[in-house]
Structure 1
Amino acid sequence: MTDPTVEIRVLDPRVHDWGIPAYQTAGSAAVDLFACIDAPMEIAAGAPATLIPSGLALFMDTDRMAALVLPRSGSGHKKGLVLGNLVGLIDSDYTGEVKISLWNRNPTGAPIVVEPGERVAQMMFVPVLRPTLTVVDQFSGTTARGAGGFGSTG
């Protein structure tokens, strides 16, 4: 199976200096996104999420793919910088600028400073299944678990 191609349009020329998104290792599942801001930006702890431009737009020539914007593990763990919407979904038919919703969940209350060109998120491309949804009165099959409650597996 051949990997699909995604066209990337650079909206901010600084992205060329910081690096066009690329997989950093053979096992990388996602590419880094940079904060395309003009000056350092302070994000106060607990304040509403801040929308940061990535300087990029995408064209996915298939409705069988989407992009997920995810937090960077180190930034979330070490600094408390996470995504305001937890996971951003970029639909295949959206061709505008990819923006990153950043939120400071720092429990110490300290602000987080985001620098221009800082890697603040990562983007992963995933296949999309579009099943036919059928309304039924009763399911056609059963599972071993059944209708067990939320968190019921322990």
Structure 2
Amino acid sequence: MKVSFRRLSGRAVAPTKAHEGDAGYDLVGVESATLAPGERAPVGTGVAVAIPDGYAGLVLPRSGLAVRHGISLVNAPGLIDSGYRGEIRVPLINHDRHETFEVEPGMRIAQLLLVRAADASFFAVESLEESADGRGEEGFGSSGISGSG
């Protein structure tokens, strides 16, 4: 699939995969930001994309930033609809309790994952059919605690 994009800044970098076979395309920031512990800031990528109809873009945190520095996205995952043509801005948050994090232009700050987006029509019913796995209405914690046997 070919996806067109537009550079909105001279520093903008095309979304690219770090390794062959990767699912996500790295998004590179074009702005500086200082994130003190607990602070958040939107960081521009200088890129606008034309996601094809029938698809959506999910903006996801980078695992390395999360593990090493506590940096994630405020709204993970962020959703980019196929009709949006503005700049991809990434709302970063610093979950580290002690260290300030500096975002520098050129830093890989998030990943873009393209996914199929089904078109559905919803209709009201009196009751829902049983799920294939029999879970039914059981919600949070219904499968037990991990490692408890």
Q: Same fold (TM over 0.5)?
A: yes
- Matching residue within 24, 27, 48 for 1:57: 48
Shift of 1:24: 2.3
Q: In the alignment, what sits opposite 2:20?
A: 26
Q: How does 1:118-129 map to 2 (within 5 A)?
A: 118-129=107-118
The letter for the 2-side match of 1:12 is S
Shift of 1:51: 0.6
- Matching residue within 21, 28, 43 for 2:35: 43
User: Which residues of structure 2 form unaligned runs of 5+?
Assistant: 145-149
Is the 1:9–1:57 Cα contact (8 Å) retained in structure 2?
yes
Q: Over aligned residue pairs, what C-alpha RMSD do you find?
A: 1.3
Q: How does 1:123-138 map to 2 (within 5 A)?
A: 123-138=112-127
SS in 2 for 1:9: strand
CA distance in 1, matches of 2:42, 2:105: 14
Q: How does 1:93-108 map to 2 (within 5 A)?
A: 93-107=83-97
Percent sequence identity over aligned pairs: 35
Asked if residue 142 in structure 1 is aligned to residue 108 in structure 2, the reply is no
Q: How many residues align?
A: 142
The letter for the 1-side match of 2:105 is P
Post-superposition Cα deviations, 1:34-56, rounded to whole Å, max 9, x if no partner, equal 1111xx43111112x20110010
Q: How does 1:101-116 map to 2 (within 5 A)?
A: 101-107=91-97, 109-116=98-105
Shift of 1:149: 3.2
Q: In the alignment, what sits opposite 1:73?
A: 63
Is the 1:32–1:119 Cα contact (8 Å) retained in structure 2?
yes
SS in 1 for 2:50: strand
The letter for the 1-side match of 2:33 is M
CA distance in 2, matches of 1:33, 1:87: 14
CA distance change for structure 1 residues 45 and 11 in 2, over 3 Å: closer, same or farther? same
Shift of 1:150: 2.1
Is the 1:11–1:55 Cα contact (8 Å) retained in structure 2?
yes
Shift of 1:85: 1.2
Shift of 1:25: 1.9
Is the 2:14–2:47 Cα contact (8 Å) retained in structure 1?
no
CA distance change for structure 1 residues 81 and 138 in 2, over 3 Å: closer, same or farther? same
